[in-house]
Amino acid sequence: MRQPESGVSRPVWATLIFLIDAKFGGRLSRHGIAALRLAALLLAAAFTWSESANSAEAPVCGNCDCCRWESVRTANWRAYAQGEYIARDRSPHVSEYRLRVGDELDLVYRLTREERPEPYRINVGDEILIESMTDPTLDRSLIVQPDGMITLRLLGQVKANGLTVAQLGEYVEDAYKKYYNAPTITVTPVKVDTKLEDLRAAVDRRMGLGGQSQIARVTPEGSISLPGIGWIYVQGLTLAELQQELGERYAELIPGVEVIPVIVSWAPRYVYVLGEVAAPGRFELTGPTTILQAIAMAGSWNNGAYLDQVVIFRRDDNWRLVATKVDLRAALRGKTPCPEGEIWLSDSDVVIVPKGPILEATDFIELVFTRGIYGVMPFSTSYAFESLSGLP
């Protein structure tokens, strides 16, 4: 039989012919063998790869100094001796971590107990003592009502919420001058910062040895809910930025408290490996992971995998799908010490290791001829029709 054209890869063609002869040699007529061999040539031509690409040098990469084994230099592989398994003191994974959906935070509340430059203003729920040096019957201990009022003898309802102690004392003094020449009123705060105490009670877990803190998980909309200030958008903030934001918000409503955010657990991160690997599936990213490490987690690649064109699908910041192809052949065959395709993977990346041309051709023969034509009309029947028709 004629040899394949020079543009057809001989190994692929020879392998396909071998598979055809081994599987159907004893069951096909010479016309059937000829048809299958013709199909093999067409498949080999469709899936061939260039021999020049296989023999080309490794591409120049931008993340190391040498890209070929010939460009070697001395490196210290024993800096930690038997302690190498602990890993080296490398640079941080990221320069700054920003919160994302699913992160769990422990927000620790601390009472500052620092001197405030502005005078204290009476709040709802505060307890104050009204005393008169002139008439002791005016003396009484009062709690500021939810409407901000207090009730005084002879005066009735008096607004106290939002006033300083001095302002309330002056107002009551002037109001009682209608009945006394010198009422001599004194206002003494007995219980103050009730808003702060209410907040403290809301986050108090000291009975369970948990301290004054609040557990919050970033919701799918990127927010957390905290007592006193409600919902706040935190996705994309660093811990320092979140602490500053919480401090400013609480300072407007409940002065005297500091909130320190602490990450309890990070949102899980996964990579998906599909195709020609031993154990395809979803794998958790617990640290910086490259594409070769992901394939190793999937049990390594299968024989016949097309390592020249491994595909990675990724979603960008706007959830738009982007994709790239990398060539891992040189790295896995030891052709280069610094493979360009050994890239870092991101959360939710999908790695697809496709089938090689030989596997695709084998599947084609299996589906079309074994399960298709031969499954519906066995070649023994076809041979009988040929015999009846008198074909040579």
Reported as a single tens digit per residue, the pLDDT across 51-101 is 444 443 434 444 555 566 666 677 777 777 888 888 777 888 888 999 999
Of 249, 252, 373, 356, give the one whose Cα is nearest residue 9.
Answer: 356
The pLDDT value given to residue 58: 38
Query: pTM for the whole thing?
Result: 0.67
- Beta bridge partners, 270, equal 284
Q: What is the pLDDT of residue 1?
A: 42
pLDDT tens, residue by residue, 150-200: 999 999 999 999 999 999 999 999 999 999 999 999 999 999 999 888 888
Per the structure block, which two tokens stand in for 124?
């709802």
Weakest mean pLDDT among 155-159, 363-367, 373-377, 383-387: 383-387
Q: How far apart are CA 109 and CA 260, in angstroms?
A: 7
pLDDT band at 388 (very low <50, low <70, confident <90, very high): very low
Q: How many angstroms separate the first and last alpha carbons of the chain?
A: 19
What is the average pLDDT across 274-286?
95
Instruction: Report pLDDT digits (tens) over 266-279.
Output: 999 999 999 999 99
Residues near 61 by Cβ (< 8 Å), separated by ≥ 6? 67, 338, 339, 340
- Return the structure tokens found at 288: 């910086």
50 forms bridges with which residues in the sheet?
none
Please write the tens of the pLDDT for every residue from 88-106: 778 888 889 999 999 999 9
Reference 284, options 294, 299, 275, 274; nearest CA is 294
pLDDT above 60: residue 140: yes
pLDDT of residue 2: 43
Q: 5-47 pLDDT, tens per residue?
A: 444 444 555 666 666 666 666 665 666 666 666 666 666 665 5
In whole angstroms, give the CA distance from residue 379 to residue 27. Answer: 6
Classified as helix, coil or strand, 177 is: coil
Portion of the chain with pLDDT greater than 70, in percent:
73
Residue pLDDT, tens place only, 297-348 = 999 999 889 998 999 999 998 999 999 999 998 888 777 777 888 899 999 9
Structure confidence at residue 15 (pLDDT): 66
Provide the pLDDT confidence category of residue 248 given band limits of 50, 70 and 90. very high
Per-residue pLDDT, 157: 94
Q: What is the pLDDT of residue 335?
A: 77
